[in-house]
Amino acid sequence: MTKTIEIKVLPKDLHNADFIKGRAAKKAGLKADNISDWRILRRSIDARQRQPFYLMRIELTSAGQLPAEPVISDNFKDVSDCEPVLIIGAGPCGYFAALEMLELGLKPVVFDRGKDVRARRRDLKAIQQDGVVNPHSNYCFGEGGAGTYSDGKLYTRSHKRGKIKKALQLFVEHGAKSDILTDAHPHIGSNKLPGIVANMRATIEQYGGEVHFDAQVTDLIIENKVMRGVIVNEKDEHFAEATILATGHSARDMYYLLHRRGVKIEAKPFALGVRIEHSQSLIDRAQYNQPQREENLPAASYSLTTQVKDRGVFSFCMCPGGLVVPAATAPGELVVNGMSMSRRDSPFANSGTVVEVRTEDLAPYAKHGVFAALELQKAVEQAMFNYGDGSQRAPAQRLTDFAKGRMSKSVPDSSYIPGLYPAPLHALLPQGIYERLSAGVRVFGKKMNGYFTDDANVIGTESRTSAPVKVPRDRATYMHPEIEGLFPAGEGAGYAGGIISAAMDGQNTAKAVLRWTVEG
């Protein structure tokens, strides 16, 4: 007999397999000794009551072994002699498109402007320690894309977009812990992701695909509205019938290039704001109702949202036990983001806290046409940079001072390695954004005990939340409506927001390419 049941488990019993099996058997009306196999299907935390507990969905059987999950890479085939498809960008979208092609019988040829994941690390160190931003290799550009040196959160709200489980399974087959298949809020961490990404590359190459680094696509070969190929590093031509454009939301030069080449692009709403950092212990106390987080509970997270003057104000990309990192992609700008290690054990908790920016809010930038949102993004990032000393030290303010619009004399300790200095963020942000953030953080203070405190840092700028430009595509074919053979995909084209949704969009785009190239 096989049954699926749900049980509650206290954090202290999280790793006690005998206890969990016994309790599951009892709930299923079976004797523990008769259970021949069992597994956890889903695990989440319920912290609404005074004593937090894990809720586990468990499948158990008294009839032999539970069926094993299929191994996706068993379906990969040698694609060396198959139809080549160019993929611009080795982020989650590009790499998952490439892996999908190994199943579909297409040969992925990936170009990335940045370096392989190991070499990229040196450039991250240069940003952190010397304030030097390499425009091709940074927290957004390079192997694995923006998803590599991140928090590695793997949850998405886009359940319709594809099979999340398949994407998670591929992470596991390339080195992630199998917990991510069952956790309600799976996460990998910056210390593990680079190895996983390198394993994915090894798979792509092993089955006959190609991955090229230091290979910036500098031009598109378009003839009579047909995409013929790309030019790499201003000299090397590569041709194929289909090209997937997966360059992420920070490749501004690609948006300009598309515009110059007459490829239709559109302005897109996005969100802009700041990153707010608290101590992790404060967030734990608020979320777990305990003076101190008990053993086996992860660093607590939060998700806060409100409406102020008809615009959404919300927390975004919350990194429990994480670090704030400098995520600029060019010299002369100040951009921050968040990441964490797999153990999420830093003493800080940070999240982007942003205001939605709609097309009608972009009137002051209207002269820039489709680049209105991008120019606003750039202007704020540059204003934050120019206020400082030319380094990647970031402007900051105590949360309560920020809300009141007054300078802080000093700012609290932070995880941000280049350092913070007090600055009038209330004056550096556009007025409409500042006013809504100022009201929004007060509302958040009412929703979460201790949130609105002068011991929290507000740090500028959280501006790379999503693409400020959309590259249109047909809903059914995934192809650009005017350029045959061009498949815009992932976050940069406006079809994803996060690692998993970008990965799934890559997989779906690869299938769309197959339908077009091979199946006609």
Ligand X SMILES: Cc1cc2nc3c(=O)[nH]c(=O)nc-3n(C[C@H](O)[C@H](O)[C@H](O)COP(=O)(O)OP(=O)(O)OC[C@H]3O[C@@H](n4cnc5c(N)ncnc54)[C@H](O)[C@@H]3O)c2cc1C
Tell me how far the alpha carbon of residue 157 is from its chain's centroid. Answer: 12
Considering only the stretches 85-93, 174-182, 277-285, 299-307, report the one whose residues sit in contact with ligand X under the rule CB under 6 A: 85-93
Binding-residue pattern over the window 199 to 238 for ligand X, x denoting contact by CB under 6 A: -----------------xx---------------------
Among 11, 52, 84, 92, binds ligand X (CB under 6 A): 92
Specify the residue, 151 or 284, whose C-beta has the smaller distance to ligand X: 151
d(CA 40, CA 183): 9
Residues 248 and 145: beta-carbon distance below 8 Å: yes
Q: Is 111 in the site for ligand X (CB under 6 A)?
A: yes
- DSSP 8-state code for residue 331: T
Among 91, 189, 320, 494, binds ligand X (CB under 6 A): 91
Write down the least CB distance from residue 191 to ligand X, Å: 13
Work out the burial of residue 342: count CB atoms within 10 Å of its CB; fewer than 13 is exposed, 13-18 middle, 19 or more buried.
Answer: middle
Q: Is 473 in the site for ligand X (CB under 6 A)?
A: no
Single-letter code of the amino acid located at 68: A
Specify the residue, 187 or 398, whose C-beta has the smaller distance to ligand X: 187
d(CA 340, CA 23): 34
Specify the residue, 61 or 337, whose C-beta has the smaller distance to ligand X: 337
If one counts every other C-beta atom within 10 angstroms of the C-beta of residue 480, the result is 24
Residues between 476 and 495 that touch ligand X (CB under 6 A): 490-492
Specify the residue, 193 or 441, whose C-beta has the smaller distance to ligand X: 193
Among 24, 240, 300, 325, binds ligand X (CB under 6 A): 325
Write down the least CB distance from residue 213 to ligand X, Å: 9
Q: What are phi and psi of 226, to 5 degrees?
A: -120, 130
If one counts every other C-beta atom within 10 angstroms of the C-beta of residue 300, the result is 24
Among 248, 395, 440, 445, binds ligand X (CB under 6 A): 248
Q: Is 254 in the site for ligand X (CB under 6 A)?
A: yes
Name residues whose C-beta falls within 8 Å of residue 492's C-beta, 6 or more positions apart in sequence.
89, 245, 246, 247, 248, 249, 250, 251, 254, 467, 471
Q: Is 314 in the site for ligand X (CB under 6 A)?
A: no
The tokens describing 188, both together, are 């990998």
Write down the least CB distance from residue 342 to ligand X, Å: 12
Among 112, 123, 173, 381, binds ligand X (CB under 6 A): 112
The tokens describing 133, both together, are 């931003």
Specify the residue, 242 or 254, whose C-beta has the smaller distance to ligand X: 254
* Element (DSSP H or E) covering residue 84: strand 84-88
Specify the residue, 114 or 395, whose C-beta has the smaller distance to ligand X: 114
Q: Which residues pair with 273 in a beta bridge?
A: 354, 462
d(CA 416, CA 9): 36
Among 60, 124, 499, 504, binds ligand X (CB under 6 A): 499
Residues between 132 and 151 that touch ligand X (CB under 6 A): 139-142, 145-147, 150-151
Specify the residue, 339 or 376, whose C-beta has the smaller distance to ligand X: 339
Specify the residue, 113 or 398, whose C-beta has the smaller distance to ligand X: 113
Name residues whose C-beta falls within 8 Å of residue 27's C-beta, 6 or more positions apart in sequence.
5, 6, 7
Q: Is 441 in the site for ligand X (CB under 6 A)?
A: no
Considering only the stretches 99-107, 109-117, 170-178, 427-435, report the one whose residues sit in contact with ligand X under the rule CB under 6 A: 109-117
d(CA 199, CA 82): 22
Specify the residue, 142 or 440, whose C-beta has the smaller distance to ligand X: 142
Q: Which residues pair with 8 in a beta bridge?
A: 55
Specify the residue, 110 or 267, whose C-beta has the smaller distance to ligand X: 110
Write down the least CB distance from residue 28 to ligand X, Å: 35
Residues between 336 and 375 that touch ligand X (CB under 6 A): 337-339
d(CA 93, CA 251): 14
Specify the residue, 136 or 442, whose C-beta has the smaller distance to ligand X: 136
If one counts every other C-beta atom within 10 angstroms of the C-beta of residue 409, the result is 8
Q: Is 113 in the site for ligand X (CB under 6 A)?
A: yes
CA atoms 411, 414, 418, 424: torsion sign:
negative
Q: Which residues pair with 336 in a beta bridge?
A: 326
The CA–CA distances, whole Å, from 312 to 128, 353, 362 equal: 32, 11, 16
Specify the residue, 140 or 510, whose C-beta has the smaller distance to ligand X: 140
For 98-122, give the secondary structure using H, E and C: HHHHHHHCCEEEEECCCCCHHHHHH
d(CA 228, CA 251): 21
Write down the least CB distance from residue 178 to ligand X, Å: 19
Site size for ligand X (CB under 6 A): 44
Residues 162 and 507: beta-carbon distance below 8 Å: yes
Among 40, 90, 282, 313, binds ligand X (CB under 6 A): 90
Write down the least CB distance from residue 447 to ligand X, Å: 23
Among 79, 109, 168, 246, binds ligand X (CB under 6 A): 246
Residues lying near ligand X in the complex (CB under 6 A)? 88-94, 111-114, 139-142, 145-147, 150-153, 216-217, 246-248, 251, 254, 317, 325, 327, 337-339, 490-492, 496-500, 502
